[in-house]
Amino acid sequence: MRLYVTPASPWVRRVVVSILELGLRDRFEFVQTKWPHSWGTRRVAHPGDFPQDTPVERIPALVAGDLHLADSHAICDYVNGELGGWRLLAREGVARWRALADISVANAVIEAQIARRAELLREERERSDDFIGKMRDRSLRCLAALDKRAPGLGADFDLAQITIAVACGYQDWRYPSDDWRSDAPAL
């Protein structure tokens, strides 16, 4: 299986951590992609098979035979279910829905972080400080909400915890001055 990746993407990190947690690293060929800083606001030309393998030109992208997935949740669900025996996310029931509730909030953090990053990459005269502030506030609000849910996280490392950890790590890396830990100490 071919997995298109780039080191800076939290979506990629989420998939790669899932693969590693499931002990499946040897089943994947990681194909490094390079994204210029203009990715957030401009068309980007990609070499090789990437545009054919993922017409939406997003990463991560998984090619497994004739199956092409270009969304980290779909890839994690495939890896967890088809290859991992449902160890990272329950197949059904209350445990699945609780995990998906946490994942949906953590995903909102990551989406806001990436939207903020894309806006910050725009030329200064084109940027919207209001939008940047809105995405910052969304990230911090969602991290605080996840902090309240932290005591309910299970002892077993699962996809919800992976997604939350990736969101926290990306926040530390991209926006260290936000001081999110003051409002989310349990995370």
**DSSP for the chain, written as a single string:** -EEEE-TT-HHHHHHHHHHHHTT-GGG-EEEE----GGGGTS-----TTHHHH-TT--SSEEEETTEEE-SHHHHHHHIIIIITTT-SS-SSSHHHHHHHHHHHHHHHHHHHHHHHHHHHTS-GGG--HHHHHHHHHHHHHHHHHHHHHGGGS-SS--HHHHHHHHHHHHHHHH-GGG-GGGT-TT-
pLDDT in the model for residue 43: 77
| Residue 163 and residue 136 share a domain | yes
> Does the pLDDT value for residue 174 go beyond 90?
yes
Name the domain boundary from 14, 49, 83: 83
* Amino acid, res. 32: Q
pLDDT in the model for residue 131: 98
In a domain, 153, yes or no: yes
The count of structural domains within the chain is: 2
| 67: confidence class by pLDDT, cuts 50, 70, 90 | very high
**What are the residues facing 62 on neighbouring strands?**
3, 69
| 35: confidence class by pLDDT, cuts 50, 70, 90 | confident
Domain holding 168, by residue range, is: 94-182
| 36 vs 18, higher pLDDT | 18
The pTM for the full model equals 0.93
In a domain, 89, yes or no: no
> Does the pLDDT value for residue 133 go beyond 90?
yes
In a domain, 136, yes or no: yes
pLDDT in the model for residue 171: 98
- The residues, any chain, with a CB within 8 Å of residue 43's CB and separated by 6 or more, are none
Q: CB–CB of 40/119 below 8 Å?
A: yes
| Residue 110 and residue 158 share a domain | yes
How far apart, in whole angstroms, are the C-alpha atoms of residue 140 and residue 95?
A: 26
- Residue 14: is it exposed, middle or buried by C-beta count within 10 angstroms (0-12/13-18/19+)? buried
pLDDT tens digits along 84-124: 999 999 999 999 999 999 999 999 999 999 999 999 999 99
| Residue 18 and residue 78 share a domain | yes
pLDDT in the model for residue 52: 85
* Amino acid, res. 42: R
Name the domain boundary from 59, 83, 107: 83
| Residue 139 and residue 103 share a domain | yes
In a domain, 88, yes or no: no
| 9: confidence class by pLDDT, cuts 50, 70, 90 | very high
> Does the pLDDT value for residue 22 go beyond 80?
yes
What value does the mean pLDDT of the chain take?
93
| Residue 145 and residue 169 share a domain | yes
